[in-house]
Chain A
Amino acid sequence: MLSTLQTLSPGVLLVILLGLVVALYLARHAAHQAINSLFRLIYSGFRFGSIAARKSAQRLHARNREVLLELGREQIEKDLEKEFFEINKFVQRDLGGYPQLQKQIQENITRIQDDYSNSTEVPQATPEWVDAVDAVAKMKNSDKTPAISVKVLEQIHSSAKQQHTENLAAYRQESAKRHSILKAMTPFWRKLAYSVDEVGGKLKEIVTRSQNIDKHMLKYKEILAATDSAERSLKASAITQFLIAALVIVVAVGGAFFNFHLIALPMSEMVGSVSRVAGVKVADLAALVIICLEITAGIFLLESLRITKLFPLISSMDDKVRRTIMIASAAVLLTLACTESALAFMRDQIAADLANLRASLAGVETSSHEGSAINVWIPMAANMILGFVLPLALTMVAIPLEYLLQTGRTVFGSLLEIFVNAIAVILRIFATAFKHLGKVVISLYDLFIALPLWVESLWQKREKNSTQRDDEFYNSAYDSAKSK
Chain B
Amino acid sequence: MKTFALILLSCVLFVSCSSSEQEVAETSYAKGVYLLLDTSGTYTQELTKAQQLINYMLAMLEPGDTFAVARIDSGSFSEKDIVAKVVLDGRPSIANKQKREFATTIADFVKNVKSSDYTDISGGLLQGIEYLNEAKVGNKTIMIYSDLKEELPKGYVRDFDITLDGFKVQALNVTKLRADNENPQVYLDRVEHWALKVTEGGGSWTVINDLDKPEAIAL
Contact = CB atoms under 8 A, between A and B. Distances in A.
Most chain B beta-carbon contacts within 10 A, residue among A274, A279, A358, A360 = A274
B25 A276 contact: yes
B105 interface: no
A241 to B, nearest CB: 37
Given A274-B26, A275-B22, A268 B59 contact: no
B90 A274 contact: yes
A361 B92 contact: no
Interface residues of B, number: 22
Nearest to A350: B92
Describe B's contact surface by its main secondary structure: helix
B18 A361 contact: no
Contact of A268 (B18, B29, B56, B90): B90
B26 A273 contact: no
B100 interface: yes
Contact of B99 (A275, A279, A361, A363): A361
A353 to B, nearest CB: 5
A362 B56 CA distance: 7
Contact of B92 (A265, A358, A362, A363): A265
A351 to B, nearest CB: 9
Interface string A236-279: 00000000000000000000000000000100110011111101
Given A275-B26, A350-B93, A360 B100 contact: yes
Contact of B63 (A268, A353, A362): A268
Given A268-B92, A269-B91, A274-B30, A357 B64 contact: no
A276 B29 contact: yes
A274 B90 CA distance: 5
B96 interface: yes
A277 B93 contact: no
A354 interface: yes
Contacts of A362: 55-56, 59
Nearest to B95: A273
Contacts of A353: 92-93, 96
Interface in B14-40: 18, 22, 25-26, 29-30
A279 B29 contact: yes
A354 B58 CA distance: 11
Contacts of A269: 91-93
Contact of A272 (B25, B55, B90, B100): B90
Contacts, number: 59
B214 to A, nearest CB: 11
Interface residues of A, number: 19
Contacts of A357: 59, 96, 99-100
A354 B30 CA distance: 19
A275 B96 CA distance: 18
A429 to B, nearest CB: 44
A361 B59 contact: yes
B92 A273 contact: yes
Interface in A329-372: 350, 353-354, 357-358, 360-363
A276 B63 CA distance: 12
Contacts of B59: 357-358, 361-362
Contacts of B25: 275-277, 279
Interface in A90-106: none
B126 to A, nearest CB: 28
A474 B29 CA distance: 105
B62 interface: yes
B103 interface: yes
A57 B99 CA distance: 66
Contacts of B22: 275, 277
Contacts of A360: 100, 103
A213 B103 CA distance: 78
Nearest to B60: A358
B90 A273 contact: yes
A267 to B, nearest CB: 11
Interface of A: 265, 268-269, 272-277, 279, 350, 353-354, 357-358, 360-363
5 contacts: A268-B63, A273-B62, A273-B63, A273-B92, A277-B22
Given A279-B25, A357-B59, A361-B103, 20 more contacts: A269-B93, A272-B89, A272-B91, A273-B63, A273-B90, A273-B92, A274-B26, A274-B64, A275-B22, A275-B25, A275-B26, A276-B26, A277-B25, A353-B93, A357-B100, A361-B55, A361-B58, A361-B99, A362-B59, A363-B55
